[in-house]
Amino acid sequence: MVKEIIANNEERLEKSIAALKREFGSLRAGRATPSLLDKVMVDYYGTPTPVNQVAKVSVPEPRMILITPWEKSLMHDIEKAIMKSDLGLSPNSDGTAIRLSIPQLTQERRQELVKTVGKKAEEAKVAIRNIRRDGNDAIKKLEKAKEITEDESKKGQESVQKLVDKYIKTVDTLREAKEKEIMEV
């Protein structure tokens, strides 16, 4: 029973890390990456759809994203979606593809992004701590119901803590890497 709780916690912790990676991927660090467009939704036959599902998104140069829609009729909709997004990028269309030039970041903007990265990392740590609390509560319930011994409960809680420590370290590593990427000139 304790092993099931720990396995469930580990699965939830993995999802927290995956969510953090997605968040970091959508932050513009002065370098072009297709993941910048992950949150940009295009109206595709009445359904909000991510750009990467209605077009080929590639990075031909370090500071340029090339978007080639699968249907020419989507060009205008994709341009509009990019303009409405919080990316602050201006799409340039040549009729067959859309080019997004990624400008150099100012020092001030870099510092704002580093703060945002720190905030996102802290949110991930809070989520991880909540998962720890849920896991420990479930183990304590089993102990109270006399389904496991006090020793098993302690070992289970220690295992949960080791897992949490590992994932907090992962969050810190991801945060440091993203901050370094942002501050590179």
| 34-101 is classed CATH 3.40.50.150 | no
Give tens-digit pLDDT for 18-38: 999 888 877 766 677 787 787
Give tens-digit pLDDT for 35-75: 778 788 898 888 888 888 899 999 888 888 899 998 888 88
The CA-based angle 69-71-77, given to 5 degrees, is 70
Give tens-digit pLDDT for 150-179: 999 999 999 999 999 999 999 999 999 988
Q: Using an 8 Å Cβ cutoff, are 6 and 160 in contact?
A: yes
In the CATH scheme, what is the code of domain 1-28+106-184? 1.10.132.20
Give tens-digit pLDDT for 113-146: 889 899 999 999 999 999 999 999 999 999 999 9
Each domain of the chain, given as residue ranges in start order, spans 1-28+106-184, 34-101
Q: What letter represents residue 128's amino acid?
A: I
Residue 13: which pLDDT band, with cuts at 50, 70 and 90? very high
Q: Using an 8 Å Cβ cutoff, are 139 and 2 in contact?
A: yes
Q: What letter represents residue 111's amino acid?
A: Q
